[in-house]
């Protein structure tokens, strides 16, 4: 009788172990333990108080991940300041976000596509950035993984008429490592100066500014750009007339766009009607060697670029 009892106990333990193994197989991925406050937002679709989250004013480089399952959701270069009280992003990592109609009947809820964690809501048409989208996310739904290696050398692209003069002024700014004259924005690959000067390539004369972001900010570069040419001239720059000489800035991410919109707003308040166009960065083509460091080689001074303090 005792042997039968032992056999039954062993059988029950074996069956329980099989159920446990099967349960683990059915669980697609591990989930992190959540606090009571985190569950109220992430599971029960609550909302944290505005301006209370730790990622609202957060500007480090890295990736924002799901608090519940660690899935990557947003890159830091898509984060922007909207002053709404919650972290704002104008783009998500591809495939990371799921959208559902909100029960309130007019908003759109956003969830982690991997684990269905509630993140917040998405809004369109507010014109905070060029992408015209705002993911309004609860900080408590997020974690953050800082970039392991901080890249301090960055590139910025400015078009302000003849690239000789733009290059001349940027090369004098502390923190700038190099300035290269070239072309950007058109439909012709590997254009020559002859192609661009005819005004039919779609390209603008552009300078590529390589700079140390620990020594000089993109905002400082952009301010100098507005101060070394006439950003209100709509048909070129100075005596150089034509589409290749128009004023433009080619931006690489949402933060750069936000900076430019802010500076343009300041100049508008000063009564300036800014003609500068804002485009996304495209392929940069270096101009012929005789265009590089033109004023340094010739000993001349810029004929249509001069510094005028605006900020």
Point out the residues that are catalytic: 136, 162
Query: Which residues partner with 101 through β-bridges?
Result: 108
Burial class (CB in 10 A: 0-12, 13-18, 19+), 176: buried
User: CA quadruple 147, 150, 155, 156: dihedral positive or negative?
Assistant: positive
Buried b (16+ CB within 10 A) or exposed e, 182-202: bbbbbeeeebebebbbeeebb
d(CA 62, CA 147): 4
271's CB contacts (< 8 A; 6+ apart) are: none
Tell me the CA distances in angstroms from 129 to 89, 119, 123, 135, one per residue in order. Answer: 10, 21, 12, 12
Count CB atoms within 10 A of the CB of residue 309: 6
Place of tokens 């982690």: 112
Through-space distance between the first and last CA atoms of the chain, rounded to whole angstroms: 95
Q: What gap in Å lies between CA 166 and CA 295, rounded to an integer? A: 11
Rounded to whole angstroms, the Cα distance separating 273 from 22 reads 68
Question: In Å, how far are 5, 147, 220 from 32, measured between CA atoms?
Answer: 40, 22, 42
């Amino acid at each position: 009788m005792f042997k039968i009892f032992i056999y039954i106990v062993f059988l029950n333990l074996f069956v329980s172990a099989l159920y446990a193994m099967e349960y683990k197989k059915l669980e697609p991925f591990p989930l992190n333990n959540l606090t009571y406050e985190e569950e109220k937002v992430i599971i029960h679709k609550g909302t944290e108080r505005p301006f209370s989250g730790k990622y609202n004013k957060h500007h480090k480089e890295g990736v924002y991940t799901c608090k519940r399952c660690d899935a990557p959701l947003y890159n830091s270069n898509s984060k922007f300041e909207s002053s709404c009280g919650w972290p704002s992003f104008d783009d998500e990592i591809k495939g990371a976000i799921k959208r559902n109609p909100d029960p309130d009947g007019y908003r759109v809820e956003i969830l982690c596509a991997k684990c269905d964690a509630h993140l917040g809501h998405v809004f369109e048409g507010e014109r905070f950035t060029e992408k015209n989208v705002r993911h309004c996310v609860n900080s408590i739904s997020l974690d953050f993984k800082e970039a392991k290696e901080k890249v301090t050398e960055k590139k910025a692209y400015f078009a302000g008429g003849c690239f000789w003069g733009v290059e001349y002024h940027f090369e004098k700014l502390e923190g700038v490592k190099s300035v290269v004259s070239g072309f950007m924005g058109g439909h012709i690959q590997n254009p020559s100066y002859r192609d661009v000067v005819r005004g039919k390539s779609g390209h603008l004369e552009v300078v590529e500014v390589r700079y140390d972001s620990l020594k000089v900010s993109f905002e400082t570069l952009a301010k100098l750009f507005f101060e070394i040419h006439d950003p209100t001239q709509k048909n070129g720059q100075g005596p150089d007339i034509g589409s290749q000489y128009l004023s433009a800035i080619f931006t690489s991410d949402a933060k750069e766009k936000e900076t430019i919109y802010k500076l343009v707003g300041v100049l508008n308040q000063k009564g300036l009607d800014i003609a500068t166009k804002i485009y996304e960065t495209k392929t940069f083509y270096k101009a012929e060697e005789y265009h590089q460091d033109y004023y340094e080689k010739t000993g001349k001074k810029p004929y249509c670029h001069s510094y005028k303090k605006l900020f």
